[in-house]
Amino acid sequence: MPQMNMLQAINSALDISMSEHPLACIFGEDVGHFGGVFRATSGLQEKFGKHRVFNTPLTEQGILGFANGMAAAGAPAIAEIQFADYIFPAFDQIVNESAKFRYRSGNEFNVGKLTIRTPYGGGIAGGLYHSQSPEAYFAHTPGLKLVVPRNAYQAKGLLRACIKDDNPVIFFEPKRLYRASVGEVPEGDFEIPLGKAEVVSQGSDVTVLAWGAQMEIIEQAAKMAKSEGISVEVIDLRSILPWDVETIAQSVRKTGRLVISHEAPITNGFGAEIAATIQEECFLHLESPITRVCGLDTPYPLALEKEYIPDALKVLSAIKNSVHF
């Protein structure tokens, strides 16, 4: 199997998707000839033509409005938002339109063919507006699916599933890993099912859960914990909506403990939903409170980013507190 980094894996998933459907289009700011500011769409305009892979004017609400209309016409619409921090001008088109299109029309119309790709997350000295992890803003919206890959392999398989899924999906790409995550990825087509978490490594003392770039951090914390004699079950949630309650609950029934970690600010992040649901599902099995290790409740900082982020040391302390409660 060839080695690919995450950008190559994404590019490959896009390439296959464009070949699959003659009406499929990829569009967004700078995605055309330039191939996107991170080069995820590199080479695709040359291959599929300027009419199918193109730059848009600089308007996120327009990109999503355009994408909704294209998807409503039955064509796969693959829209890129250059940074997840800039998805908010499109919030109305996503939350009030994409998510509600099928329901409000009684299934006369739908935008199931819509996929939104957007790089998210911190750790790149990006400050307030090149670091946000806005998944929780969308998680309160029935009608959307939300997916976050943790590495190159997952990125290709999950993105293909997102594009083929008949619902509007937002695919959050951990930009810190774009070039850093390299691994074996099949050249050909494959899919990883949406809505299923993955137990990345088994353990018995505590369940630790994250998604996307944060997986690297919790895996590191799990290793540190192991050296202190704590056995951690590491889970990658992968899909935020729908999310895999059963896999998490099963793990927590076994370990009796849960630590959730995400980069976004703690208050009303998606960790809140997981904690709320799991304390109910596993009430009689919990041996310590469910803990969240997350970003602080501030905008994303720059100079003090290291202090801000939920790093492995912070996750490790939470693991220890949970086990020694």
Partner 1 sequence: MTNPNNVSLNISHELSFIGAHALDIPTVSLLNSDGTLHSDATDPNIDQDTALRIYKTMRFIRALDERMQAAQRQGRVSFYMQCLGEEAAVTASAAALKDDDMIMAQYREQAALRYRGFTLEQFMNQMFSNKEDLGKGRQMPIHYGSQELHYMTISSPLGTQIPQATGHAYSQKVPHIDASTGELSSEINNVTMCYFGEGAASEGDFHAGLNMAAVHKAPVIFFARNNGYAISTPADEQFAGDGIASRGVGYGIKTIRVDGADALAVYAATKEARALSVKTGEPILIESIAYRLGAHSTSDDPSGYRSKEEEANNTDCPIARFKRFLLNQGWLDEAQDDAEDETLREEILNALKVAEKIEKPPLEDLISDVYDTPIPSLQRQYDALKEHIKAHPQAYPVTAGRIK
Ligand X SMILES: Cc1ncc(C[n+]2csc(CCOP(=O)(O)OP(=O)(O)O)c2C)c(N)n1
Active site residues: 60, 130
Give, as ranges, the residues between 22 and 61 that touch its own copies (CB under 8 A). 61
Q: Which two tokens stand for residue 37?
A: 């500011």
CA-based radius of gyration for the chain: 19
Provide DSSP, 214-255. HHHHHHHHHHHHHHTT--EEEEE--EEES--HHHHHHHHHHH
Residue 268 in contact with its own copies, rule: CB under 8 A: yes
Question: Cα–Cα distances in Å, from 101 out to 72, 108, 146, 184, 241?
Answer: 9, 9, 17, 38, 17
CB of 78 to ligand X, least distance (A): 18
Give the span between the Cα atoms of 311 and 295, in whole angstroms: 10
Site size for ligand X, by CB under 6 A?
6
What's the DSSP call for residue 125? Answer: S
Q: Is the peptide bond before 301 cis (omega within 30 degrees of 0)?
A: no
Q: Which is nearer to partner 1, 199 or 302 (CB)?
A: 302
Give, as ranges, the residues between 28 and 57 that touch ligand X (CB under 6 A). 29
- Give the residue, chosen from 5, 8, 17, 82, that forms a contact with ligand X under the rule CB under 6 A: 82
CB of 40 to ligand X, least distance (A): 15
Strands 198-201, 232-236: pairing is: antiparallel
Q: Which is nearer to ligand X, 42 or 55 (CB)?
A: 55
CB of 247 to ligand X, least distance (A): 36
- Give the residue, chosen from 265, 312, 315, 316, that forms a contact with its own copies under the rule CB under 8 A: 265
Give the span between the Cα atoms of 101 and 78, in whole angstroms: 17
- Give the residue, chosen from 58, 124, 125, 128, that forms a contact with its own copies under the rule CB under 8 A: 128
Residue 283 in contact with its own copies, rule: CB under 8 A: yes
Instruction: Say whether 112 sits in a helix, a strand or coil.
Output: coil
Residue 88 in contact with its own copies, rule: CB under 8 A: yes
Q: Which is nearer to partner 1, 71 or 192 (CB)?
A: 71
Contacts of 37 (CB under 8 A, 6+ apart): 29, 30, 82
Q: Which is nearer to partner 1, 1 or 73 (CB)?
A: 73
* Strands lying side by side in the sheet with 114-120: 53-55, 25-28, 77-80, 114-120, 169-174, 145-147, 239-241
Residue type at 284 in one-letter notation: L
Q: Which two tokens stand for residue 221?
A: 């914390």
Give, as ranges, the residues between 234 and 253 that touch ligand X (CB under 6 A). none
Backbone φ, ψ for residue 208 (5° rounding): -120, 130
Q: Which is nearer to ligand X, 89 or 195 (CB)?
A: 89
CB of 189 to partner 1, least distance (A): 21
Q: Which is nearer to partner 1, 10 or 79 (CB)?
A: 79
CB of 289 to its own copies, least distance (A): 4
Contact footprint for its own copies (CB under 8 A) = 61, 85, 88-89, 91-92, 95-96, 99-100, 103-104, 128-129, 136-137, 139-143, 241, 264-265, 267-277, 279-280, 283, 286, 288-292, 296-299, 325
